[in-house]
Amino acid sequence: MKTVILLRHAKSDWSDTTQRDFDRPLNGRGERAAALMGQWAKREALTFDAIIASPAARVKDTLRTFMGSYGTHPEPAWDQRVYLASAAMLADVISEADDAADTLLLVAHNPGLADFVLEHVPDDDESALRDDVAEKFPTAAIAILDFPISHWRDFAKGCAGQLRRFIRPRDLDPALGPEQF
């Protein structure tokens, strides 16, 4: 059994319209959400053996803040291919992971993360979690997927898994839910 934990970067700052997308940092709400999700992961005793992450500024900020609340962790492997990656590219990156890691934390962007879940969790999954992901995979959300494989190289686009958890910042603090206009 191999497990993939997907963490979407937290909400980024759009105040500087001249800044490149890659260089956007987190805004205050994103910082709060990333810290809250790190606290949740620590309380839930969520563990991972390796981290693969996009090198975008908002992902680095998310991980720094998340880990500040979470605690001890492996050093992230920054992989440019994960920046704005499709579900297929994320699957390729996962298939190259070291088998010494049974659980990967993948920190990336949408729509690739949501598409990854929807492609790898059967539509007949009895839980409502898949429907929640289909509705929206918001910033700083975490999805935990289990796959019946022994080696990451066995991970293929058609590899079906089970969505064990899907948690959003608003599930922990309603103030971090969608902004009301």
* Residue extents of the structural domains in the chain: 2-10+24-174
Q: What is the pLDDT of residue 156?
A: 67
Encoded tokens for 35: 């810290």
> Could you give the 3-state DSSP secondary structure of residue 138?
coil
Q: Is 35 exposed, middle or buried (0-12, 13-18, 19+ CB in 10 A)?
A: buried
How does the average pLDDT of the chain come out, rounded?
92
Residues facing residue 20 across a β-bridge: none
Confirm if 146 and 5 have CB atoms less than 8 A apart. Answer: no
Q: For 89-100, how does the pLDDT look when each residue is reduced to its tens digit (9 = 90+)?
A: 999 999 999 999
> pLDDT at residue 12 above 80?
yes
Residues facing residue 162 across a β-bridge: 146
> pLDDT at residue 180 above 60?
no
Q: For 124-143, how does the pLDDT look when each residue is reduced to its tens digit (9 = 90+)?
A: 756 689 999 999 999 999 99
In angstroms, rounded to a whole number, what is the distance separating the alpha carbons of residues 100 and 2? 10
**CA pseudo-torsion sign 8, 11, 12, 14:** positive
Does pTM top 0.85 for this prediction?
Answer: yes
In the chain, % of residues over pLDDT 90: 82
In angstroms, rounded to a whole number, what is the distance separating the alpha carbons of residues 174 and 138? 13
> What is the 3-state composition of the chain as percent helix, strand, coil, each rounded to the nearest 5?
40, 20, 40
The whole-number average pLDDT for the span 170-176 is 87
Instruction: Tell me which of 3.40.109.10, 3.90.245.10, 3.40.50.1240, 3.40.50.720 is the CATH number of domain 2-10+24-174.
Output: 3.40.50.1240
> Could you give the 3-state DSSP secondary structure of residue 84?
coil
In angstroms, rounded to a whole number, what is the distance separating the alpha carbons of residues 116 and 111? 8
Q: For 42-86, how does the pLDDT look when each residue is reduced to its tens digit (9 = 90+)?
A: 999 999 999 999 999 999 999 999 999 999 889 999 999 999 999
Residues facing residue 106 across a β-bridge: 6, 52
